[in-house]
Amino acid sequence: MTDTNTYAYVDADTLDVRIIRGEADTEGTIVGRLDAADRPALSEAADKLLATLGVRPVSDWRDVEGGLFAVVEETAAVPTAG
């Protein structure tokens, strides 16, 4: 079964926020970068950034190696690379 979910990933080192669309999208698209002041509350800051892009988490943020990860729903078209 192919994974067709859309995900958001926050890199804890670079503070880049990426949208990843399904299993075939191995890199994702950087849609923003959080400020260093946001580091103590990455999930809240990511929620605010994503909301401005018409994206909302439909799962809780989970700690993964190197950052945070959540399943999201796009309520507006988010720009993609290419």
Asked if pLDDT for residue 6 goes beyond 50, the answer is yes
Average of per-residue pLDDT across 23-44:
90
Mean pLDDT within 21-27: 86
The domain locations on the chain are: 6-68
CA–CA gap between residue 49 and residue 71 (Å, rounded) = 15
pLDDT tens profile 53-79 = 999 999 999 999 899 999 999 887 666
Per-residue pLDDT at 17 exceeds 90: yes
Confidence grade of residue 39 (pLDDT, cut at 50, 70, 90): confident
Reduced to 3 states (helix: H, G, I; strand: E, B; else coil), residue 50 is helix
CA–CA dist 54, 67 (Å, integer): 22
47 close to 57: Cβ distance less than 8 angstroms: yes
Residue with tokens 């945070």: 68
Give, as one character, the DSSP assignment of residue 66: T
Question: Which residue has 């191995």 as its token pair?
Answer: 26
